[in-house]
Amino acid sequence: MVNKMFADWREARRLKRAFAAEIRAILELIARDRLVELIEAEITAASSRKMTGIEVNFRSNYNYVFIGAAGKLGLLPSRQVERIIAFHYHVQLMIERMEIMSRENESDDIPYAQSVVQIMRETQELGRDLVNELELGNH
């Protein structure tokens, strides 16, 4: 019994580190590709020309840890599980919205582009908070 509890505790620590690393990597990709700034520049320029699409380069390979560890989420506190899932859904929503924005029929929709920026900012804030929570071991 004690061995199982210790093994679960150790596995939970490893999961937290792995999720924190994956989330940090996603945040770094968003920052590196300057996605928020690029969309904001497109919104500003939209008064004189059509907005152009902005491609998300990590849309198909950003959640390997999440997919691989989904069966072990029960080892983590329920609040952290909820926030990890929420973060990954935010990223998926951000990617889907950017893909829609890139299509020709959405290219002049400034309010839509502004909503994408808002989702991206919320995703970044949630991710930063979650990384801190997972790394500090709180909650």
Full-model pTM: 0.84
pLDDT digits (tens, 9 = 90+) for 102-115: 775 555 678 888 89
pLDDT for 108 equals 65
Distances (CA, A) of 33 to 29, 37, 38, 55, 75: 6, 9, 8, 10, 34
- Where would I find the H helices in 33-109? 35-45, 64-69, 78-102
pLDDT for 70 equals 86
pLDDT level of residue 24 (50, 70, 90 thresholds): very high
Mutual orientation of helices 35-45 and 78-102 as an angle, nearest 10°?
Answer: 40
Domain extent, residue 86, equals 2-136
Domains contained in the chain, number: 1
pLDDT digits (tens, 9 = 90+) for 34-91: 989 988 888 888 767 766 667 776 666 678 888 888 889 999 999 999 999 999 999 9
